[in-house]
Chains A and B, each alone.
Chain A
């Protein structure tokens, strides 16, 4: 049985807004790394926000382990693209500790779990710094540590590396691959970057161009781990995913042209 099930999901903003997602069906397996790619504006983030419980679907059914999603819950932690979800008045240590404070965990246990999470993302020695004193890559590490500290079974990552420079992005991808292998969490990850998708994913879901977008195709990535970028098999998969995706991107471009 699927771990997470989207069944016939429709979504529109407000009662009269245009239908942005139509009839989305998607099943996620427990412990898999699922990548969602698609042309800009196709509603990838909306899908993630629905699973996070931030947005309610207009129609359809969303189940996690057979239970309907009714709102945000601590079994599904979000890592946002912008680091503005970090609390600037708290230090790195206090930010990572925040979910445990909400939960009411004792101070000594908090410190132990935070130490472990910080070590996992390589932030040891930066505990006392505030987000404003950290680089973009380090801020995203803080977000990841803050998500890990709760041991949530599901991670929702909304283009977390999208705003980083190419070198930092590759380093963080490597680290995330190791973390995911260790923690066995179920991860829904949104990206524009096909390389990133193939490097990290067990499966890649390609969405159609919006509005009224839905899932177009799922590609299984059966490359052995740890993966290396640039192998022949990697290149073939890249071409394959690129082709499916570029059809949709071209549809968006054609529509924009006809509007001019």
Chain B
């Protein structure tokens, strides 16, 4: 009962907060000298619905989403494997760690021109950039996870006669899942940043392109439509990621108490 009314109260709080900000926005935009530069929420909504009727909004949304999912999945897969190997095998770590620490400070944005030169302006280039922005943070978190596997879990397995490969697959991998998931959640945010940048520079579809093209047609509303959709997409993606990972992987997540490496 108390819990229910508490979460209802929280929901009410969110609604009130959103309404307040929208109201303030509407008020301020009505006072704006040039409405073109500062469109109201109502006109933004209007333009958004117009775009949706033509089907362009869905197409842009889908284009961005597809790129994010592909790049994120590829980067996560590579990152988890790299992180596990670097964490578990010293030679691999010594070989790769300098690059990991060098590259993780280089944002994907810095690579856009080079990647476009190498791979052109197609989907491949964007997916590579998104995978790039995902891979280091996932690898680093996974690697830290491996180093935090409780020593007694490994010792117990060895006293049961487990071979090195058995220790790796039966203990190290499951014990590290929580860390890898945290890394992936952080990487998801990077993906949203990178997808906009990549679409701004070279694309004719996607929410980044939508935002950028608003300048060309002097339609500021378009930029706001894009910004809103991106924000919502991010919220939904994060929520979906959290719910599916707690539902499917809760037994692994509980395995490590503090999972953040960064």
Interface: A77 (CB within 8 A) = yes
Q: Which residues of A contact B166 (CB under 8 A)?
A: 102
B252 in contact with A85 (CB, 8 Å): no
Complexed CA–CA distance, A99 and B161 (Å)? 8
Interface: B8 (CB within 8 A) = no
Give the interface segment out of A68-76, A194-202, A241-249. A68-76
Given contacts A84-B152, A102-B170, contact A72 B158 (CB under 8 A): yes
Interface residues of B in 235-262 (CB under 8 A from A): 251-252, 254-255
Interface: A130 (CB within 8 A) = yes
Interface: A153 (CB within 8 A) = no
| Chain B residue nearest to A74 in the complex (CB) | B161
Complexed CA–CA distance, A99 and B166 (Å)? 11
The secondary structure that dominates the B interface is: helix
Given contacts A85-B152, A87-B174, contact A103 B255 (CB under 8 A): no
A77 in contact with B155 (CB, 8 Å): no
| Chain B residue nearest to A80 in the complex (CB) | B152
Given contacts A99-B160, A102-B157, A102-B160, contact A87 B171 (CB under 8 A): yes
Q: Which residues of B contact A54 (CB under 8 A)?
A: 155, 158-159
Interface: B17 (CB within 8 A) = no
Which of A82, A85, A89, A101: most chain B Cβ within 10 A?
A89
A80 in contact with B156 (CB, 8 Å): yes
Interface: A122 (CB within 8 A) = no
Q: Which residues of B contact A88 (CB under 8 A)?
A: 251, 254-255
B152 in contact with A102 (CB, 8 Å): no
Interface: A150 (CB within 8 A) = yes
A72 in contact with B254 (CB, 8 Å): no
B150 in contact with A84 (CB, 8 Å): yes
Interface: A66 (CB within 8 A) = no
A85 in contact with B150 (CB, 8 Å): yes
Pick from B153, B161, B174, B177: contact of A85, CB below 8 A: B153
Complex interface bits, B169-191 against A, C-beta within 8 A gives 1, otherwise 0: 01100110100000000000000
Which of B155, B156, B161, B166: most chain A Cβ within 10 A?
B156
B171 in contact with A103 (CB, 8 Å): no
Q: Which residues of B contact A89 (CB under 8 A)?
A: 174-175, 177, 251-252, 254-255
A74 in contact with B160 (CB, 8 Å): yes
B162 in contact with A85 (CB, 8 Å): no
Give, as a whole number of angstroms, the nearest-CB distance from A130 to chain B. Answer: 6
Q: Which residues of A contact B177 (CB under 8 A)?
A: 89
| Chain B residue nearest to A131 in the complex (CB) | B254
Interface residues of A in 79-105 (CB under 8 A from B): 80, 82, 84-90, 98-99, 101-103
Complexed CA–CA distance, A76 and B158 (Å)? 10
Given contacts A87-B171, A98-B170, contact A74 B255 (CB under 8 A): no
Give, as a whole number of angstroms, the nearest-CB distance from A108 to chain B. Answer: 20
Give, as a whole number of angstroms, the nearest-CB distance from B172 to chain A. Answer: 11
Complexed CA–CA distance, A101 and B161 (Å)? 11
Complexed CA–CA distance, A150 and B156 (Å)? 13
Pick from A76, A82, A102, A130: contact of B162, CB below 8 A: A102
In this complex, how many residues of chain A approach chain B with their Cβ under 8 Å: the count is: 28
B251 in contact with A78 (CB, 8 Å): no
Complexed CA–CA distance, A102 and B254 (Å)? 23
A130 in contact with B251 (CB, 8 Å): yes
Pick from B152, B170, B171, B252: contact of A82, CB below 8 A: B152
Interface: A53 (CB within 8 A) = yes
Complexed CA–CA distance, A99 and B171 (Å)? 12
Give, as a whole number of angstroms, the nearest-CB distance from A146 to chain B. Answer: 8
Given contacts A53-B159, A74-B160, contact A101 B152 (CB under 8 A): no
Pick from A86, A103, A132: contact of B161, CB below 8 A: A103
Q: Which residues of A contact B254 (CB under 8 A)?
A: 88-89, 130, 132
A77 in contact with B160 (CB, 8 Å): yes
Q: Which residues of A contact B251 (CB under 8 A)?
A: 88-90, 130
Complexed CA–CA distance, A185 and B251 (Å)? 34
Taking A98-B160, A98-B170, A132-B254 as known contacts, 6 extra A-B pairs with beta carbons closer than 8 A to each other, sorted by chain A number, are A52-B155, A76-B159, A89-B251, A89-B255, A102-B157, A103-B160
Residues of B within 8 A of A (CB): 150, 152-153, 155-162, 166, 170-171, 174-175, 177, 251-252, 254-255
21 contacts between A and B (CB under 8 A): A52-B155, A53-B159, A54-B158, A71-B158, A73-B161, A74-B161, A78-B155, A80-B152, A80-B156, A84-B153, A85-B156, A87-B174, A88-B254, A89-B174, A89-B254, A98-B160, A99-B160, A101-B170, A102-B157, A102-B166, A103-B160
Closest 5 CB pairs of A and B: A85-B152, A74-B161, A99-B160, A85-B156, A72-B158
